[in-house]
Structure 1
Amino acid sequence: MAQTQQASPICLDIIVVGAGLSGLAASISCALSGHRVTIVESAKELLEIGAGLQVTPNSSRLLQAWDLHGQLWESGAEPSCLTVHRYSDGKVLAHDADFDQKMRTRYGAPFVDFHRVDVQLALAARARELGVTFRMGQKVEDVDFESATVHLSSGASATGDLIIAADGLWSRCRDCFFGRKDPPKPTGDLAYRIVLDLDQIPEGELRERVASPAVHFWIGPGGHAVGYSLRGGSMYNIVLLVPDDLPEGVSKQPGSVEEMRALFADWDPVLRQYLDLVDSVDKWKLMHRDELPRWVNDKSNFVFIGDACHPMLPYLAQGANSAIEDGAVLGLLLGYIQKKEHIPQALHMYERLRKTRGEAIVRETFAQRKAFHMQDGPEQVSRDELFLSQLGSELQAPYPSRWSCPDVQKWLYGYNAFKEVQEAVQQDPFREWSFSASL
């Protein structure tokens, strides 16, 4: 099915709160559907904190369709294989060879590892090309849900036909929606995030791994590590997932390199050699939220997307990918409306399509954490035996790594937002409709 986008015959004024990946994706998709879009962002410039970002085929097909600048694709690294190692000795438990070609063949789009900032800046540049207005350094203080107005810390305000709350894990819009503070909850895990430049890595096996892009997991008791190349094999991204020891109320702080190394003292020597090259590191508390009963307000002039409504642990790399999907689907649906009276149906169709998938991904992510963080013992032995029984053969579900499990991978990576929206609208064409009338 062709990946096309149609423009609505009416032009809505849409306010997007947040210029992260979900907000930028929504702004592009809404602009392509013929609407006027204004992004309100609290930061003064677009340099999102972060490191590596694994863009899987379910969202890379969207980035391709949006015609992002070619330099973004040149900055990526397509992993040629995906390998799972036992933590203690580096023993290979699973090896998915020719991974880059498999992804393109199976799903018609690549699996690409990027630096997060590169993706954000490419999305922002495309949004500007499409006429999206950016209001930077503007923090949202309050939301008037009757008039679809956001009130800003500067004293200014912005009113539209629709507000898209894309302001992330610590969403101010969410607080306004509930009329109270609604902070995210700790998961019990934290992440050390590391980026090494190639010139920091000595000649030899370590550098060769970086220059030949691949994804390596080390799975062990209570945590795991993942390493992969960025920027065409000139950088190496490592994420270490371990039990959370940050104080209550602290979401990020500088970490101790010595403490980090001590946590992995008994792990694979290859991983430890990379960690020996690190001179500074930050610790990030991993947070989540309970499922929201609804993503759309009663007046159908306000809607949540991305981490503001379904934050995800990084264990399947779907937080950013799912947020991009959200923005795409919402904008695509708004391209089908013929009059403003169709907005409620478009928003509730978005909620129906995305809420089910987003919350299912969250559950799979927690299941992946369990499979990768098993303590040494009988259950871990059975997991490793299952891995090894399929090493070098065609994989069968269920499989401990959802990155390669044929059932989960197909469901995650085979998702096509264009197809889903087209089929949904064909089955339930827009009409004059209200949410209350549909109950």
Structure 2
Amino acid sequence: MSEKLTIVIVGAGIAGLSAAVSCALAGHSVVVLEGAKELAEVGAGFQITPNATKILQRWGLGEEMKKTWAVPSSCTVHRYADGKALWHEAKFAVNIQRKYQAPFVDMHRVDMQKILYDKAIELGVSVKLDHRMKEVRMNLDKGLPELELMDGTVISGDLVVGADGLWSRCRESMLGVKDQPLPTGDLAYRIVLTLDQIQDEELKQLVSSPALHFWIGPKAHVVGYSMKSGTMYNIVLLVPDDLPPEVSRRPGSVDEMKGLFEGWDPILTRFLGCVTTVDKWKLMHRAELESWTNKEKNFILIGDSCHPMLPYLAQGANSSIEDGCVLGRVLSYAKTREQLPQAVELFEKLRKSRGEKVARETFFQRHDFHMEDGPAQEARDKIFASQLGKEEAEVKFPSRWNCPEVQPWLYGYDAYQEVDEAVKQHLLSS
């Protein structure tokens, strides 16, 4: 019989709860420690791509997700100044489902977090709120990692999983030094509009008919999509960072935001005319780590604690779901505690190179979407024009969301298959 491992996960965001569900499905005992006093995912909408929806559906969450998701039927990339379609994929949803046997959907983060939380509780996971972490260390007498909380409580387990986000204390514990996130040079204005905030009938119709829209321009771009079954609209505006170095988030000026997009597509500026309040978020990243694990292979990092990403491919949360899935699936093959280090090594082997590759790709997408008007932009737009009118792009493409080279490895990834094939290759011996 398999031994049941005790797994302690720090953080109850998308990464932590995904790992909790996956590890519980693998038959292990899971405790999630969350510093917040209540479960409230920060943020607004997010896009769940097929590499993650296929996992969530396999976990039996598809029916709950359908209650609030919006499926974007088409994908359009607009030129910033006049809204002209540089690219339009009319059958985006149909094409995605056909190619990857899983949908591309848009949801509110709070809804997804609650669905994962409810599944974790159903599987017997213990989620402890208001448990603020101080540090993770090795108990050399027990040979186990232990976690000390701010109130002095000490909790130990066979495996500690740091899923505590960009400002990770677990990362600091692993490295033994304070390690601050690095600015990317961009910030995001995040906006959520409900239908009752929109009086313009044309805009209401756009919200009620889910589709994915990008507006790309000099040093900036915007993404807009429906969520909450087409009753809410999520807009993210990505612009150069002007926040002080020590400030990661603050309320923004609506007038300043509108001024940055003066002269852009009237459809976009009409949406912005509905906005009454807005927040500014500094977009941060991290240097790549030499390893995501400690030398004993019983303490690991996942999600934004080790591979935070620019949001330009919507892969931060999706990659975190992949991390959680792969971790649990690898541990489903670990039959004894003695196999844990080998399983952790396999997890890192399978996840580190992909996670870091996706993070690097987000910077390439920024480059192609943020070109200033000039020869490079004109060359880019010629590539768009060469494909306009086709059902799908057929050449290396400036929008990686539709690129026939990038999209397949991004969306076609199958976490279960990757682990199962690796185990078949005797990368985790019995």
TM normalised by structure 2 equals 0.97
> How far 1:69 sits from its partner (Å)?
6.7
Deviation string 1:382-416 (CA, Å, 9 cap, x unpaired) is 10111011101241231000000011111111100
Query: How far is the alpha carbon of 1:21 from its aligned partner?
Result: 0.5
Tell me what 1:138 maps to: 131
- Which piece of structure 1 moves more, 146-155 or 37-46? 146-155
Q: Which residue of 2 aligns with 1:99?
A: 92
Q: What SS does the corresponding residue of 1:406 show, helix, strand or coil?
A: coil
Maintained 8 Å contact 1:383/1:400:
yes
Deviation at 1:341, TM superposition (A): 1.4
What pairs up with 1:398-417 in 2 under 5 angstroms?
A: 398-417=396-415
Q: Counterpart of 2:14? A: 21
Provide the rounded CA distance (Å) in 1 between the counterparts of 2:177 and 2:341.
25
The residue number in structure 2 matching 1:244 is 241
In structure 2, what is the Cα distance between the partners aligned to 1:11 and 1:254?
46
Equivalent residue letter for 2:118: A
Q: Report the aligned-residue RMSD.
A: 1.1
2 CA distance for matches of 1:25 and 1:184? 23
Matched, 1:266 2:259: no
- Looking at structure 2, the residues matched to 59 and 395 of structure 1 have their Cα atoms a distance apart, in angstroms, of 23
One-letter code aligned to 1:399: F
Q: Tell me the residue number matched to 1:108.
A: 101
Cα deviation, residue 163, structure 1: 0.2
CA distances 1:47-105 after superposition (whole Å, capped 9, x unpaired): 11110110000000111111127332210000000000000000100001111111111
Establish whether residue 388 from structure 1 lines up as the match of residue 385 from structure 2: yes
> Which of 245, 252, 257 is equivalent to 2:254?
257
Indicate if the aligned counterparts of 2:53 and 2:104 stay in contact, CA closer than 8 A. yes
Greater mean alpha carbon deviation, residues 142-151 or residues 267-276: 142-151
Q: How does 1:32-431 map to 2 (within 5 A)?
A: 32-68=25-61, 70-146=63-139, 147-393=144-390, 394-431=392-429
Aligned partners of 1:145 and 1:302 also within 8 Å? no
1:431: Cα distance to partner?
Answer: 3.1
Name stretches of at least 5 consecutive residues in structure 1 with no aligned partner: 1-7, 433-439
Contact 1:41 1:138 in 2 (8 A): yes
- Measured in 2, the distance between the counterparts of 1:428 and 1:86 equals 51
CA distance in 2, matches of 1:344, 1:306: 20
Residue segments in structure 2 that go unaligned for 5+ positions in a row: none
Q: CA deviation at 1:154?
A: 1.9
Identity %: 56
| Superimposed CA distance per residue, residues 328-361 of structure 1 (whole angstroms, 9 cap, x where no aligned partner) | 0011000001211111111111111111111111
**Preserved contact between residue 225 and residue 235 of structure 2 (Cα < 8 Å):** yes
Contact 2:20 2:30 in 1 (8 A): yes
Whole-Å separation in 2 of the counterparts to 1:145 and 1:190: 38
- Cα distance in 2, alignment partners of residues 167 and 407 from structure 1: 32
C-alpha distance in structure 2 between counterparts of 1:244 and 1:269, whole Å: 24
1:429 positional shift: 4.4
SS at match of 2:405: helix
Letter in 2 for 1:350: F
